[in-house]
Structure 1
Amino acid sequence: MHVRSMISLLFAATAGSLVVASDAELASLSSVERQTLAQELVAWKRSPAAKDAEQLGLNEIIAAHESHSDVEAATLGYSTEELRRFQQAKQLVAEMEKQHPNADFTLASPFSLLTNDEFEQFVARSGLRGKQQPESNNQALLSFDDDDDLPVEVDWRQSGCLPPVKNQGHCGSCAYFSSTAAIEASMCMYQNGDLRLYSEQRTVSCFGGGCKGEWPHLVMEFVKEQGVCHSDDYPYTSGTTQQFGVCKLNSCKPEMPKIQNVVQVNTTESSLKFALRNRPTVIMLAAGNKSFKQYKSGILEGCGDAQMDHAVLLVGYDEQAWNIKNSWGASWGDNGFVRLRRGLADPLGACRVLEFNPVFPEF
């Protein structure tokens, strides 16, 4: 089956309800409001967010619902379907700004033309949702409970050892990207500031579930045993092909990072802050939800009852929030980063950041 056909089947279930609701919403707009919305859509299609959307493979999802006879698409540079979806995103921005008074939301997101259900399904490609975290082979568990001995804030963005924000594309490879980023940062600190960028493609192609997802600590254990290649020697392709790719273990000379242990962290704020004191740490959270879809900046208060479905790199904290590096490109969020409220009464934390054991490579 062709990729386009697979995408059409995957999202067909939500198409009917989207069109009916959005037709009514568009019809209720005045001519001036519709013209303004169209101008905003055209501006979005020329923006970095639209380029990231293309890299993420989102255009194929939208095209599966478009009419080939849409006159607007040929003459105005956008389709009625795109306009419907953009209006829905605009309504979501207003809704989220009410729910999260300390955060900003924007239409300048690569996900602005996805429905809420499509965005949820897109993030769920990680394969993590609804699963139990397997045990680490090394069984190392870090636990700490004395906040008085911890710094008030930590920010690894200022270290010179944090790799740039990358884009995992249309592949459920968040565990590979977050794990690689953790290894890159830790290796840099271990090597006195020498930041090297490593290949996610090698682990996607040669280990685990590939584009169907994997657990971060298992990815790190694979790297511990098999090494890593430099990104230029084994470039990332799965984000556009949506395929694992053929494993080419001998296509580059792997570097063997001196990982002593892959350490899992106890699911408490104190333990996580203790881990962050020495290095960025991979966490798992709920991201395929309304709170993340149009996020721009500021502090998210939570994600409702959304389930864990995404792996990211935690790069710091302050008295109010966790600072997190994502892998959806720099046009999403605060240049690719997001802040989540910490210090909540809920033991799972905002967006379930404390539900599963965080993990880091120990050198």
Structure 2
Amino acid sequence: MRQFTYLIFLCWGLSYCFLTKNPELDAKWEQFKSTYGRNYTEKEECFRRQVWEKNLKFINDHNRLYKEGKLSYYLGMNEFGDMTDEEFNEMLNPQLLPRRRRDTTARIGKMFSNFPDPPKSLDWREYGYVTPVRSQGRCGSCWAFSATGVLEGQLFRKTGKLVKLSPQNLVDCARFQGCRGGSVIGAFNYIKKKGIVSEECYPYVTKKNKECLYRSECEVAKIKKHMVLPFGNEKILMKALATVGPVSVAMHAPKSLNYYRGGNREPLEFE
């Protein structure tokens, strides 16, 4: 009797999985798994398929509003498509964001308020300040890429050479930080003390290594000081950006930015 009951429950579970998935999306699901190298167990595949379909619907609903002119940017499926909202938020780990110091930011805000108004548009890529876009993969290391991106711009400003710096150096070596989130200020404080090496010397591997592999002979740059701009002041942010180059910004990101693809043109079909 127990064996019979078990078989009934097993068959019901398999039937439920088949009933909840949309067979019209089978080809796109296989494409997603192939594109991002997914290889699930049978039980996990059922769950991840449901999560993926839910996220795909969210993307398509958003893009319909974009086509109607109600939104300014469109979305596209990416490597986060089979993650739940809770898993994605845990990867970002916002608890690691530093507290704001009002005295410091107020003083800096006053300093930048005396700067001239910024131009209507400015693209630092045209001036050679910015390295190509790289993917952090399934590692919550956006803080490290943001920190290295800012420093790459300042290094170019000083030396005229654009060098890819190593986010992996920060993920592995900056204390209390890694693939579960971190802070740009924490990264800057590390670089002040230890310096940072090039991407070529310390390649990115989309995970935190068991030990820090920093090599002093590869050091490319150190930071003397950094500034924290006033929270929520976009005018000061624009002046700083136009004056010194690329600036690191931490922001509250809604779910739609998990799948951000672009704006001002037709959204692409799922690739």
Could you state the TM-score of these two structures normalised by the residue count of structure 2? 0.74
Distance 2:30 2:211 in 1: 39
**Do structure 1's residue 200 and structure 2's residue 184 form an aligned pair?**
no
Against the structure 1 CA distance between its residues 297 and 248, is the aligned structure 2 distance closer, same or farther, given a 3 Å change threshold? closer
Equivalent of 1:93 in 53, 59, 79 = 59
**Do structure 1's residue 217 and structure 2's residue 185 form an aligned pair?**
yes
- The 5 A counterparts of 1:310-349 are none
Equivalent of 1:243 in 191, 197, 208 = 208
Please tell me whether the aligned partners of residues 234 and 251 of structure 1 are also in contact (alpha carbons under 8 angstroms).
no
Structure 1 residue 244 displacement after superposition: 4.3
Structure 1 residue 265 displacement after superposition: 1.1
Equivalent residue number for residue 67 of structure 1 = 43
Distance 2:229 2:204 in 1: 29
Equivalent residue number for residue 186 of structure 1 = 154
Equivalent residue number for residue 261 of structure 1 = 225
Distance 2:54 2:105 in 1: 46
- The 5 A counterparts of 1:219-234 are 219-234=187-202
Distance 1:205 1:279 in 2: 27
The structure carrying a bigger strand percent of its residues is: 1
Equivalent residue number for residue 172 of structure 1 = 140
Against the structure 1 CA distance between its residues 92 and 205, is the aligned structure 2 distance closer, same or farther, given a 3 Å change threshold? same
Distance 1:270 1:199 in 2: 31
Equivalent residue number for residue 260 of structure 2 = 295
Distance 2:101 2:258 in 1: 31
Query: What letter is aligned with 2:170?
Result: T
**Do structure 1's residue 157 and structure 2's residue 125 form an aligned pair?**
yes
Partner SS, residue 283 of structure 1: coil
Against the structure 1 CA distance between its residues 199 and 25, is the aligned structure 2 distance closer, same or farther, given a 3 Å change threshold? same
User: Structure 2, unaligned stretches of length 5 or more?
Assistant: 1-13
Partner SS, residue 282 of structure 1: coil
Equivalent residue number for residue 73 of structure 2 = 103
Partner SS, residue 255 of structure 1: strand
Structure 1 residue 135 displacement after superposition: 5.0
Structure 1 residue 93 displacement after superposition: 1.6
Structure 1 residue 228 displacement after superposition: 1.7
Distance 1:140 1:262 in 2: 15
Distance 2:166 2:122 in 1: 27
Query: What letter is aligned with 2:72?
Result: N
Against the structure 1 CA distance between its residues 214 and 112, is the aligned structure 2 distance closer, same or farther, given a 3 Å change threshold? closer
Please tell me whether the aligned partners of residues 98 and 185 of structure 2 are also in contact (alpha carbons under 8 angstroms).
no
Query: What letter is aligned with 1:95?
Result: D
Structure 1 residue 261 displacement after superposition: 2.0
Q: Taking every aligned residue pair, what percent have the same amino acid on both sides?
A: 21
Please tell me whether the aligned partners of residues 141 and 264 of structure 1 are also in contact (alpha carbons under 8 angstroms).
no
Partner SS, residue 281 of structure 1: coil
Distance 2:49 2:259 in 1: 16
Please tell me whether the aligned partners of residues 173 and 212 of structure 2 are also in contact (alpha carbons under 8 angstroms).
yes
Distance 1:183 1:21 in 2: 52
**Do structure 1's residue 117 and structure 2's residue 86 form an aligned pair?**
yes
Please tell me whether the aligned partners of residues 224 and 256 of structure 1 are also in contact (alpha carbons under 8 angstroms).
no
Against the structure 1 CA distance between its residues 45 and 223, is the aligned structure 2 distance closer, same or farther, given a 3 Å change threshold? same
Name the structure, 1 or 2, with higher relative contact order (CA <8 Å, separation 6+).
Answer: 2
Please tell me whether the aligned partners of residues 184 and 196 of structure 1 are also in contact (alpha carbons under 8 angstroms).
yes
Per-residue CA deviation, residues 201-228 of structure 1 (Å, 9 max, x unaligned), is: 2222222223143321231132133222
The structure number with the bigger radius of gyration is: 2
In angstroms, what is the RMSD of aligned CA positions? 3.5
**Do structure 1's residue 284 and structure 2's residue 253 form an aligned pair?**
no
Structure 1 residue 262 displacement after superposition: 0.5
Against the structure 1 CA distance between its residues 121 and 248, is the aligned structure 2 distance closer, same or farther, given a 3 Å change threshold? closer
Query: What letter is aligned with 1:129?
Result: Q
Partner SS, residue 161 of structure 1: coil
**Do structure 1's residue 38 and structure 2's residue 26 form an aligned pair?**
yes
Please tell me whether the aligned partners of residues 106 and 230 of structure 2 are also in contact (alpha carbons under 8 angstroms).
no
Partner SS, residue 296 of structure 1: strand
Structure 1 residue 266 displacement after superposition: 1.6
